[in-house]
Structure 1
């Protein structure tokens, strides 16, 4: 039996689905990816109350999902949900994928995907050599704040202090949504673009989510923020509604339809929010490098240059 390479992955949501899709395409395990995704989507619907459970006991469902009879079957666990009235939610825990039948990559061994709330932090503490997480978390924690903005995922490694962490970005998965500048017609420039140049000259409030403050400082650059006053949505207040009330803000958009429903104009897409493959380069050996190469590839539709792996 070959080596087991453990990889930290998100426990739920779009980032985990993007990771599972990547494994389905590169390791030819579509049934496994579909099984995990459908299970978690069903449990999310139960948690949100959009469907009624056949079995209302969350522990019974957890026991059913996490069968110990098959060592390669996915396992799940319970996560404490901080939303009122929903204290428990079933999320992904782990799964083992043998590599014997994989055409590219290692000849034997196995990959174990291990769910973590914040995979990036697990790599920072050297628990894993490889992992997947949102590029946002890296901006929020370790990318240096400078007068100049960071506008691309491909520029992030150059803004990470080697003394702070050994973790680097390898590539993105292309599941891109954007942190977008948006404004009301009254605040937006009438005869110019709603973009970084506008922000350079703007003085006044800018509405953002509190958890994104450091990210926004990195993405906009500290020079552009000298005359800007951050405002935050009130608790339980919809972000787009709070931005419309403030006049100008930055928030994640997919289609922008919700922003338009609140009378907002969409401006520059400031930074892509994307799931990225990460490595702790101090933990990379020959086996890890082989798995990393297996997960990377020119079939990825990402703005991050593929092939710039950290030596």
Structure 2
């Protein structure tokens, strides 16, 4: 059967979401757990939270099987933190399915790999799509489903097919003093009536402009955490900001109040429509159709 190559992140929550979705539809839970646990262990080693008797080359040889494509392969990546430590990351694995073999291929920037037509299918964070290609408008972008309407067809053939539901949210956060400055909820209208500094992570500047809407930013100046400073701590110093939250517990530890969830940060299935074939459509359906339907076809 045909092998379909699918670009995936090399590590982190988005890769885990892809592995878990594929496992749920193919019964490869043990394989997914093996890859996820290996990468979490290696992350802990890099952070100094674990120790290992074997050196990094010995470990990567133990983890990888280059002769059997259905066994995972790993590779080394230089971390961009101080000292540029090496880290073991995912490289590839082939999973047999009723739609043909699906080869997950690790890429640093899967979305950009699709934009350059290296792949027909891939997974990446919705955040990167907003940072790269969506049109900025006065009206805020609120949902994953709205992304494709903001992509210029002359800019890229890549479109969002579906989200995987591994959702955390870009959320408005503010100190009680800032919240009390307006007699209304901490929402987009609050931002529209606010004038002053708004603290954000610098990598999310264009995303914040998209999800708040440019019309609300006329009297706002972006500020950013100092080098090494936690985002929540920087927002508490500024008084107002936007950052990713799940439960909001860390924000509350800094005496911040949670406002509106502006946009879901979620792993999304991407398709390069100019590379679409009947085979890639079937593989895409493996990830997009309801789980019960997918399992019935196995």
> Does the aligned pair in 2 maintain the 1:47–1:86 contact within 8 Å?
no
- Helix, strand or coil: the match of 1:174? coil
Q: Which residue number corresponds to residue 38 of structure 2?
A: 39
Shift of 1:86: 4.8
Q: Which residue number corresponds to residue 63 of structure 2?
A: 65
* Structure 1 residue runs without a partner (length 5+): 301-311
Aligned equivalent of 1:118, options 102, 109, 118: 109
Q: Which residue number corresponds to residue 260 of structure 1?
A: 252
- Helix, strand or coil: the match of 1:187? helix
Shift of 1:84: 1.8
Distance 1:131 1:147 in 2: 30
Q: After the TM superposition, which of the residue ranges 270-279 and 186-195 deviates more from structure 2? A: 186-195
Structure showing the higher helix proportion among its residues: 2
Q: Which residue number corresponds to residue 88 of structure 1?
A: 86
Q: State the TM-score, normalizing by the size of structure 1.
A: 0.91
Distance 1:82 1:38 in 2: 22
Distance 1:175 1:54 in 2: 34
- Helix, strand or coil: the match of 1:179? strand
Distance 2:267 2:196 in 1: 32
What pairs up with 1:219-298 in 2 under 5 angstroms?
Answer: 219-298=211-290
RMSD, aligned α-carbons: 1.2
Q: After the TM superposition, which of the residue ranges 70-79 and 88-97 deviates more from structure 2? A: 70-79
> Does the aligned pair in 1 maintain the 2:140–2:211 contact within 8 Å?
yes
Shift of 1:71: 2.8
- Helix, strand or coil: the match of 1:186? helix
> Does the aligned pair in 2 maintain the 1:176–1:274 contact within 8 Å?
yes
> Does the aligned pair in 1 maintain the 2:169–2:245 contact within 8 Å?
yes
Q: Which residue number corresponds to residue 13 of structure 1?
A: 12
* Structure 2 residue runs without a partner (length 5+): 293-298
Q: Which residue number corresponds to residue 306 of structure 1?
A: none
Shift of 1:299: 4.6
Distance 2:112 2:125 in 1: 11
Distance 1:97 1:125 in 2: 25
> Does the aligned pair in 2 maintain the 1:206–1:250 contact within 8 Å?
yes
Residue deviations 1:154-196 (CA, integer Å, cap 9, x gap): 0000000000000000000000000000100011136420001
> Does the aligned pair in 1 maintain the 2:25–2:291 contact within 8 Å?
no
Distance 2:6 2:163 in 1: 16
Aligned equivalent of 1:183, options 165, 174, 181: 174
Q: Which residue number corresponds to residue 193 of structure 1?
A: 185
Q: State the TM-score, normalizing by the size of structure 2.
A: 0.95
